[in-house]
Amino acid sequence: MIRIDHLDHLVLTVASIEESCAFYARVLGMGVETFAEGRKALTFGNQKINLHQAGHEFEPKAKRPTPGSTDLCFISETPIDDVIVHLKAEGVAVEVGPVRRTGAAGAILSVYFRDPDDNLIEVSNTIS
């Protein structure tokens, strides 16, 4: 049997790599890494999100890579009320929240908003 330990990276197909890098760095404080002949990735903790430009994806790729088809949830140490204040200051509209949800490790308090490709982004605090 295969035993998975953790997620190393995922790939997000975007309309504009530059716009996505700017958004995730400005709004979520992620790092931007250049690797392997100029490819871009968003970094946070010990994980990363590799970016593929729609129509110019790297092989192998998903069967139907499409900007705006992803839902992502990030756990933040920043209190959710401060997240909301920051999002508003950055001109990012909160669609839902704060609301209680169930995350991978238990209860979370979440807010939802959209990235430049209309992917659904959830930022959450764990609830003890």
pLDDT at residue 57, as a whole number? 85
Q: Which two structure tokens, joined as six digits, stand for 35?
A: 């690797």
pTM of the entire structure? 0.93
Q: What is the mean pLDDT of residues 50-68?
A: 91
Arch. (CATH architecture) of 9-126: Roll (3.10)
Residue 88 exposed, middle or buried by CB count within 10 Å (0-12, 13-18, 19+)? exposed
Q: List the catalytic residues.
A: 122
Is the per-residue pLDDT at 37 higher than 90? no
**Mean of all residue pLDDT scores within the chain:** 94
- Residues 74 and 1: their CA atoms lie apart, in Å, by 29
